[in-house]
Structure 1
Amino acid sequence: METGKPRRGMTPLHFVDDEWLALRTEDVLEPERPIVDAHHHIWEGHQHHTYLVPDLLEDLHCGHNIRGTVYVECSFMYRADGDPRFASIGEVEYANGVAAAFASGRYGDVRACAGIVGKVDLTLGAMAQPVLEAAMARAPDRFRGIRHMLAWDASPEVNLLRKPPVKDLMLDPSFRLGFAQLGKLGLSFDAWCYHPQLPQLIGLVDENPDTRVIVDHVGGKAGTGPYAARKDETFRDWKRSMQELARRPNVFCKLGGLNMRLNGFDFIDRDLPPTSSQLATAWRPLVETCIELFGPGRCMFESNFPPDKAGCSARVLWNTFKRLASGHSEDEKAALFAGTAIRAYRLPESLGTPAPAS
């Protein structure tokens, strides 16, 4: 029986309950469709849950035709020794090693971490350039850009990060000087911020029109804390900023990250996991708005696993996205599920085609 009652109280952030997820099974929709997962992490002991290569591999082989992935930084495997400014290069090295293991064919035709988004501290200003160059040198075939966390809100109910950045980081002159180094090197920037911060992001984009910016998690529309009681106003504010961002041709949008409690949905706290139909109904206003504004050619689906695995299995997640894309043409679906990520992160074109017959 479907109910909405909480299960054992509110679940911890990012906690993956495998027994709970197993209560929901579905057949795979469109199993042949090639997918490039535009955003996932690998980590150990991170806020109640470990998600390493065996866990990733299990989700990649969930029944959907996932051909490749983009690894996004999560402060994992930093170097313990040497110049601390270069500590984050350790994560790039680790992700590149994972990618090399998958490129060997040992795990089949899927190419995990085919693109790597690392972390470089942009508050280093002009000195961020040699760190960026070091990351490029350590993974020349896969390093595509960075993410420097921006997500800050005055409400502790909204902040998701263990160590939130300082307020108004995007206005900091040193950060802006560091950001300016990305375009010189042909690198992209993944922007993870909450929707009230989007006007600042617009200003940053306008200062750097030649730098590719990928907006994570549908622009971080908050639905908790002070925003929970102002849903219509919050949606209008979010949409207004996303409209402005969509007018900038160098900006792309990731569709996902919606299982996090930030968005105001309570699926992860129910006694039964959601179906893909339930998730598609709940997420449709956000996802359809983004596709309408940016177009399929600048939108890409992302798993955001393992954080979003707290709310549903990989099979249910990708079924949800397929339901959301059902009204689009075949070319548009090809872009949303693989083509846009391939173009945005300069990945091998072969990842957008079906796996070769074994």
Structure 2
Amino acid sequence: MPNQNHFAGTVNDDWLAQHREDALEPGLPIVDPHHHLWVTKSGSYLFADLLADLDCGHDVRATVYAECGSMYRADGPEEWRSLGETEFVTGVAAMSASGLFGRTRACAAMFGNVDMRLGERARPILEAHIAASGHRFRGVRFSTAWDADERVHRVVPEQALLADPRVRRGLACLAPLGLSLDAWVYHPQLPQLAAVADAFPELTIILNHIGAPILGGPYAGRRDEVLASWRAGLSELARRPNVFLKVGAIPIRLPGAARSEASGPPSSETVAGAWQPFVETCVELFGAQRCMFESNFPVQKRWCSYGVVWNAFKRVAAGASADEKRALFAGAAIRAYRLPAALIGG
């Protein structure tokens, strides 16, 4: 179930370059817990591109690579081909760990793709990913985003995969290997993830992209209804202490088109204004210790630059305490992905 390409859009670097900002709070340590590297029909985003974005004045100490179906093996059994992605990312991580490319430890951890529908047969594949990664492999993302309306992009063809007995047997392999589960679901599916958290209380679960409230397509014009449902689902999930929340991939919802050649890219003030209600809800329900800001690059790069993303988060978090900022920008990611606390001096 590779996830490559369906969210890969065109990035216009010249358009983005029309707006530049100095980094706010440049001494605040950041661990970016969600970015990709890929080559697609619409363009590529590789280590050199990530390094260029990191060179924006923010103190990004480390990053976590998010699976996206990149560089799969071209042959061999289908269920083993995702090892190619882990091997590719491990090479990038080794380059970064040399120190020749700066202080940031890119891809210091990663999560990959193993089909949980394999049940118990997933275990040897998971063990192979751990070995191939030099023990940087922290877990899998099993994306099950689905909606009843066909106008909404379906990552999978089935509605309730998380309840499938095969999937449950696959999920049971994760915690004994010290692995976590990244989950991508849409807001109506949040109760399904809560059921997984109850079934596997020892399993660390990281919910991606704030639980993906759907505001377009069949949900257009139903914003209040969607946000009420989304908040209720998050509230229930927050009662499960084994669940973390990634705060990012939030809709900007600018007037008119999100990005046009006729208007410049948005400033961090504009982005922060659009994101603040979502971020406040997330932190209110989960607390700063279980929320982590994510860049979601290069997907987010279709709308704003890397520096603007982190400035926007810093504007939204301006009223947070020093401990809360430490958690939101790095601490929660370090705990969820078992990274060295020394990355931020802890």
- 1:4 corresponding residue in structure 2: none
Pairing partner for 1:255 from 244, 247, 256: 247
Q: Please, what TM-score do these two structures have when normalized by structure 2?
A: 0.93
Deviations 1:49-82 (A, max 9, x none): 3111111110111111111000010001111232
- 1:71 corresponding residue in structure 2: 65
For the pair 1:96 / 2:69, whether they are aligned, the reply is: no
| 1:83 shift after superposition | 2.5
Pairing partner for 1:33 from 13, 28, 31: 28
Secondary structure of the corresponding residue to residue 268 of structure 1: coil
Cα distance in structure 2, aligned partners of 1:310 and 1:253: 23
- 1:9 corresponding residue in structure 2: none
User: Which aligned segments of 4 or more residues in structure 1 are displaced greater than 6 angstroms?
Assistant: none
Secondary structure of the corresponding residue to residue 194 of structure 2: helix
For the pair 1:125 / 2:119, whether they are aligned, the reply is: yes
Flag the 1:157–1:60 CA change in 2: closer, same or farther, 3 A: farther
- 2:170 corresponding residue in structure 1: 178
Check whether the contact 1:259–1:311 (CA below 8 A) recurs between aligned residues: no
- 2:302 corresponding residue in structure 1: 310
Any unmatched runs of 5+ in structure 2?
Answer: 1-6
| 1:164 shift after superposition | 3.6
Check whether the contact 1:342–1:352 (CA below 8 A) recurs between aligned residues: no
Cα distance in structure 2, aligned partners of 1:194 and 1:26: 33
Cα distance in structure 2, aligned partners of 1:302 and 1:296: 14
Check whether the contact 1:121–1:148 (CA below 8 A) recurs between aligned residues: yes
- For 1:149-228, what aligned pairs fall within 5 Å after superposition? 149-159=143-153, 164-228=156-220
Flag the 1:171–1:118 CA change in 2: closer, same or farther, 3 A: same
Secondary structure of the corresponding residue to residue 50 of structure 1: strand
Check whether the contact 1:259–1:268 (CA below 8 A) recurs between aligned residues: no
- 1:288 corresponding residue in structure 2: 280
Give the alignment's Cα RMSD to 1 decimal. 2.0
Q: Please, what TM-score do these two structures have when normalized by structure 1?
A: 0.90
Cα distance in structure 2, aligned partners of 1:348 and 1:99: 15
| 1:19 shift after superposition | 1.4
Deviations 1:15-51 (A, max 9, x none): 21111111212221011111110100000015x2311
| 1:171 shift after superposition | 2.2
- 1:23 corresponding residue in structure 2: 18
| 1:271 shift after superposition | 2.1
Cα distance in structure 1, aligned partners of 2:89 and 2:233: 33
Check whether the contact 1:34–1:66 (CA below 8 A) recurs between aligned residues: yes
Pairing partner for 1:267 from 247, 254, 258: 258
Flag the 1:119–1:165 CA change in 2: closer, same or farther, 3 A: farther
Cα distance in structure 2, aligned partners of 1:246 and 1:50: 36
For the pair 1:111 / 2:75, whether they are aligned, the reply is: no
Flag the 1:242–1:292 CA change in 2: closer, same or farther, 3 A: same
Of structures 1 and 2, the one with the larger relative CO (CA 8 A, separation 6+) is 1
For the pair 1:134 / 2:136, whether they are aligned, the reply is: no
- 1:5 corresponding residue in structure 2: none
Any unmatched runs of 5+ in structure 1?
Answer: 1-11
Check whether the contact 1:267–1:273 (CA below 8 A) recurs between aligned residues: no
Flag the 1:20–1:155 CA change in 2: closer, same or farther, 3 A: farther
Cα distance in structure 1, aligned partners of 2:22 and 2:116: 44
Cα distance in structure 1, aligned partners of 2:334 and 2:256: 30
| 1:140 shift after superposition | 3.8
